[in-house]
Chains A and B, each alone.
Chain A
Amino acid sequence: MSAVNRFYDEYHFRPRVVWRIVREALWSAQERKRLTREALEFLRLRSDRRKLRQRPRRRGDSGMTDTGFQSGLQLRTAVLILLIVVFNTAGNVFLSIGMRREVNLRPGRGRISWRRPGSPRRAAAFGSVSPLLALFLVTFLLVLSWADYSYVQPASAAGYALVPLLAHAIAGKTCPRCAGAASP
């Protein structure tokens, strides 16, 4: 914006042009009025450009000319997507562990029962799932308030590489499909 101001200043205030304009204005009242009007308009426009450069950025702006704001927005988005990945991955792994150990599901008869009724491990297995998945939902909704869904969802794909690793580390499962899981 300062470059624009500098350009207009150097163009309009060339010495030869200034002398011609002033010489004409000296002998003509109409010319003086026109010059005064145009000078005031020029100064008002210059002031508006300066105010535009100095106005504080709103969060809704694209911020393309303010690198500080843009990098802050990207940092905020990156941190929240990282949290989405971590919470979702951990929640899914603990949910799988809990369901495998504690639940009997017989699809043909449509019955669901607990493997070990009254098991204290069930509370631990499922108790860790709810806050993790709740935190995942909260961070996911927060990011969706400003970012595109078609960006957020693929960006959280790193969780698919993390799931087999976490499953192996916590539940000791082997991973024949790790090649496919790691490709995203």
Chain B
Amino acid sequence: MKTAVCLTLVVLGGTGGDLCFSHAMKQVGEVASFRWTNLSRMFGRAARMPLMWIGIALHAVAFLSLVALLTWADVSFVVPATALSYAVGAAGAAVILGERVTTKRWAGIMLISSGVLLVLLG
């Protein structure tokens, strides 16, 4: 039971945080060069966006749940099991961010999810 709860928090928190990051970084704009001054300016702009801080909070929840999970479960179980976030993330990206998720991409995500099922049954 505790494993299922922690896993749910990890998946939903992590995916929600990533979606917030993606939306915030698209608003900041594409990185023009990888020079230190440009990167620091870019991350400074990102730090002033509320969506970035919401994403950080969601990731904090996911991280604490992951850390708790790792104290009693094997890492070779936990990390693949959190791959459920791929399906949730793709659905969230299509619905919330309006991204175009192709059939090939969905097929790859289903392959990953089947690997997760194999891990959970193992």
Contact = CB atoms under 8 A, between A and B. Distances in A.
B39 to A, nearest CB: 8
Per DSSP, chain B at the interface is helix
B111 to A, nearest CB: 6
Interface of B: 2, 18-19, 21-22, 25-26, 28-32, 34, 39, 42-43, 46, 67-68, 70-72, 74-80, 83, 85-86, 89-90, 93-94, 97, 99-101, 105, 108-109, 111-112, 114-122
Ranked nearest first, the 8 interchain pairs of A and B with the lowest CB-CB distance are A183-B115, A180-B119, A180-B118, A96-B75, A150-B93, A149-B22, A164-B76, A184-B112
Interface string A132-145: 00000010111011
* Most chain B beta-carbon contacts within 10 A, residue among A60, A99, A173, A176: A99
A66 B79 CA distance: 39
Contact of A144 (B22, B68, B72, B117): B22
Interface of A: 59-60, 92-93, 95-96, 99-100, 103, 105, 107, 138, 140-142, 144-146, 148-151, 153-154, 157, 159-160, 163-164, 167, 173, 175-184
Contacts of A182: 115
A172 B14 CA distance: 28
A93 B75 CA distance: 7
Contacts of B18: 149, 153
Contacts of B122: 176-177, 179-180
Contacts of B78: 96
Given A100-B71, A150-B94, A145 B118 contact: no
B111 A184 contact: yes
A53 to B, nearest CB: 24
A142 B100 CA distance: 20
A144 B26 CA distance: 7
A173 B72 CA distance: 14
A148 B116 contact: no
A59 B30 contact: yes
Given A181-B115, A181-B119, 20 more contacts: A59-B32, A92-B75, A96-B70, A105-B71, A138-B43, A144-B22, A148-B93, A148-B97, A148-B100, A150-B94, A150-B101, A153-B85, A154-B105, A157-B83, A160-B115, A163-B75, A164-B76, A177-B74, A183-B115, A184-B115
Nearest to A133: B63
